[in-house]
Chain A
Amino acid sequence: MELFIGLGTGFLFGFLLQKGQVLRFDRQIGFLLLKDMTIIKFMASSVLVGMVGIYACHEAGLITLSLKATNVGAIVIGGLIFGIGWAIAGFCPGTSVGALAEGRFHALWAILGMLVGAAAYAELYPALKGNILSWGNYGKITLPQLLSVSPWVVIAAWIIAAVGFFIWAEKKGL
């Protein structure tokens, strides 16, 4: 059952990624060159809709949140390393398999590279665990907790900021 639900959810996600054109190398790199905002329009729209629904369901007691710990050192260094690889590969883990499916054969090399990167991380993990990974751990926290405000204040602020950004991007034709 678990596997079947995963497959179905992935199918719909892949369908939407493809229709939204975000699987393309030129869209991904176009964003990183700040010339094409397609992937951010797509991603921000999903996050805005998602945050409203997730917090509504959370407050209704239907779901629990699943946060990742705020390890500042690991996130900053790992995040920058991710960015370097992202700019070279032009794909991210989720989009690479979809890009291959729409005929972008070079994505296959990115997928193989990702498997090697994952294996390398597993080998180095014991060595990293005691240092980088434990630098500056603030635990599993949310923005509303950090700012001591209602989640709906944060959500409203994001919506206003994002809509402002969308209007700017459309005006500039990005």
Chain B
Amino acid sequence: MMKSLKAPIWNPYVAGALVGILAILSVVVTTAVLDKGKFLGASTTFVRGAGLIEQAVAPQHVADNAYFQSKKVKVDWQMLFVVGIFAGAFVSARLGRTVKGETVPFIWRQRFGNSAVLRAAGAFIGGAILLFGARMAGGCPSGHGMSGNMQLSVSSLLALVFFILGGVITARLLYGKGGR
């Protein structure tokens, strides 16, 4: 047991299948305990996070916004779920000794060089664009890609296809055929 927990990596099929079991258990347990089944998802937390931050400066503005009203700006199950992702990855990386201080990843460096500032700008702009798109589509690769497709939802299959299509075209234009 301890040996596997300390392994640097797990087979992606095994780790993925365990996520599938976790997703099932999450819905079953939360349905039984909270009377509301929780499917895994992450992007709404960024809406609530942004709402909480804006609330500190302009509470009336947040209260008046229709989107914040529909998502309810509060600390909830999913926000703690996202905090938990940080904690779980932190422990896993330390047990497996795979912590890696990285400011510019390999494929990015091949194409755009070693500037940490340029990479930070890319991460920031990309992050803003993707979250905007995820909210318009109604979910991200967790909420649509995993949870929605587990339920055989038409909307989630459509979303996943267009996530990948947009990503593959952009990656090809941005990084070329390389990444080598």
Enumerate chain A interface residues (CB-CB to B < 8 A): 1-26, 29-30, 32-35, 38-39, 41-51, 53-55, 57, 62-72, 74-94, 96-123, 125-126, 128-129, 132-133, 138, 140-144, 146, 151, 154-155, 166
Q: By the criterion CB–CB under 8 Å, are A93 and B142 in contact?
A: yes
Asked if B130 and A117 make an inter-chain contact with CB atoms under 8 angstroms apart, the answer reads yes
Which size bracket describes the interface of B in this complex?
Answer: 35 or more
Partner of B136, one of A32, A77, A99: A77
Whose C-beta in chain A lies nearest to the C-beta of B137? A78
Residue of B whose beta carbon sits closest to that of A90: B105
Q: Contacts A53-B24, A101-B90, A103-B101; is A83 near B167 (CB within 8 Å)?
A: yes
Tell me whether A125 and B66 are in contact (CB under 8 A). yes
Are B77 and A6 in contact, CB atoms less than 8 angstroms apart? yes
Check B122 for interface membership: any CB of A closer than 8 A: yes
B16 CB to nearest chain A CB (Å): 3
Known contacts A19-B10, A142-B152; can you find 14 more A-B pairs with CB under 8 A?
A6-B78, A13-B81, A30-B179, A81-B166, A86-B170, A90-B123, A91-B123, A93-B140, A101-B88, A106-B103, A113-B127, A115-B50, A122-B65, A126-B65
* Choice from A16, A32, A35 contacting B18 with Cβ under 8 Å: A16
13 pairs, CB–CB < 8 Å, chain A vs chain B: A10-B82, A22-B12, A24-B105, A33-B107, A39-B12, A42-B15, A90-B126, A97-B89, A101-B88, A102-B89, A110-B123, A113-B126, A155-B152
Q: How far is the CA of A7 from the CA of B91 in the complex (A)?
A: 14
